[in-house]
Structure 1
Amino acid sequence: MKKLMLTVAITVGTILTSNAQSDSKVVQLGAKGGVNFASVTGDDFDSPDSRTSFNAGIVAEVPYSERFSLQAEVFYSGQGFEVEDINVAGVNFDTNKVEYQLDYIQVSLLAKVYLIEGLNVYAGPQIGFKVNEEIDCESGDVNVDDTMLPEAQDFDFSGTVGAGYKFDNGFFVDARYNYGFSDLIKDTDSHNSVIQAGVGFMF
């Protein structure tokens, strides 16, 4: 939690410092939310189905010109994947679907380019702090600590690319793809893979 708070503080400090050095508009603050279609890629995972969840958080954008700005974000992101079943130490979680839930607080810093008025593309790094990990099945939720399954790492470093449109009234829509560069589980070829679509409003 201390590392999360420190990262958030550094991100906010960076965006505010950038605003002080900018000769354009002031920081625009906003809120956003949307849907996640999350899964895991890599040789150690056999193409699991995606988990449908949500994301919600706050954004801060500093424009440097009509075409370029920096955007910082802090948001909750429901990630993970679905499989038909999981067998742990001879115990089968017998169900039609097993949802492996991995929930994060994500902190991102994006470089944003406006192609035309309103229409923008962006990319940048993202750090995820795991806040929940459990298995959801018909027989009930199961803590990963109570099984022999390896736990996901506490931190996830990923990259984000996306596009959006911001209307004159501050309302915006966007879609993005997040790919985890760090291993989801230590010493395995496993990476978070998330498609997000959402809406928001800049005040």
Structure 2
Amino acid sequence: MKKLFFTAILVFGTTSLIQAQSELAFGIKGGVNFSNLTGDGVDGFNDDNARTSFNLGAVLEIPVTERFAVQPEVFYSGQGFDLVQRDDAQDTEFQLNYINVPVLAKIYLVQGLYLEAGPQVGFLVDSKIDGPNATIGLDEDNFNDIDFAGAVGVGYKFNGGLFLNARYTQGFSDVYDSGEGNGFDAKNGVFAASVGFSFN
């Protein structure tokens, strides 16, 4: 009897695990970023056109209910800003590039259409100034290695697995540790438009 009981539990548990795994949706995505700095004292550095770069990574959608899911992601994100152009000079970009890991709550309003929001942690992997004549590496000790942020977005997932997404991410951490009392408070602000494919 005990053997039968434990066998039933094992079969039920294995079946539930397989079913849960089959509902997971792994995907890839990529798109374009438009990034700037936000905060006090950054107006003199930012170009209104923002820096244009890209994002590329992977997503995992974990269904909780029919209309609610949790979606962790990991992706490369080109951020930073364009330095103000003077005397019709070519663009000079202040590049801050991250590996970002958001964990988003995803709510489907109707079939396919969803809203998303959640926290994000970013890990700085590269910092440099890229000008028309040279690229200059920056001392990463002057920058915060970790960037805490919050993201909100909207998207649409088609039946075949293709999805479109638009998202804004606002940094909570200072990008540059410039000391207290100098009126300089710079945080990342990124609008991203992405396209991806889910393999479920």
**TM-score, normalised with respect to structure 1:** 0.79
Match for 1:82: what amino acid?
D
- Structure 2 residue aligned with 1:53: 53
Q: Does 1:189 align with 2:185?
A: yes
Equivalent residue, structure 2, for 1:121: 115
2:71 matched residue in structure 1: 71
Deviations 1:133-171 (A, max 9, x none): 0001122101113xxx98321110000000000001010
Q: Does 1:97 align with 2:118?
A: no
Asked whether 1:42 is paired with 2:39, we answer: yes
Task: Give the whole-Å Cα distance in 1 for the aligned partners of 2:116 and 2:84.
Answer: 36
**Alpha-carbon distance in 1 for matches of 2:131, 2:72:** 35
Question: What corresponds to 2:7 in structure 1?
Answer: none
The runs of 5 or more residues in structure 1 that have no matched partner are 1-18, 87-93
Distance 2:192 2:21 in 1: 30
Identify the residue that residue 161 of structure 2 maps to in structure 1.
170
Aligned residues: 174
Rg larger for: 2
Tell me how far 1:64 sits from its aligned partner: 1.2
Q: Tell me which residue corresponds to 1:84.
A: 84
Tell me by how many angstroms 1:26 deviates. Answer: 2.0
Shift of 1:97: 2.5
Mapped partners of 1:102, 1:64: distance in 2: 35
Find the aligned partners of 1:32 and 1:151 in 2 and give their Cα distance. Answer: 31
One-letter identity of the residue aligned with 1:44: G
**Distance in 2 of aligned mates of 1:97 and 1:151:** 23
Distance 1:163 1:183, change over 3 A: same
Q: Could you give the per-residue CA deviations for residues 33-89 of structure 1, whole angstroms, max 9, x where no partner exists? A: 000000001112116121000000000001111110000100000000011369xxx
Aligned-residue RMSD, C-alpha: 2.3
Equivalent residue for 1:27, pick from 17, 24, 28: 24
Matched, 1:199 2:195: yes
TM-score of the superposed pair, with normalisation by structure 2: 0.81
Q: 1:85 to 1:152 in 2, by over 3 A?
A: farther
Cα distance in 2 for partners of 1:167, 1:138 equals 41
Shift of 1:24: 9.2
Q: 1:160 aligns with which of 123, 138, 151?
A: 151
Q: Which of 142, 146, 170 matches 1:179?
A: 170
- Counterpart of 1:3? none
- Contact kept in structure 2, 1:24 and 1:65, CA below 8 Å: no
**1:108 Cα deviation after fit:** 0.7
Residue identity over aligned pairs, in percent, reads: 49
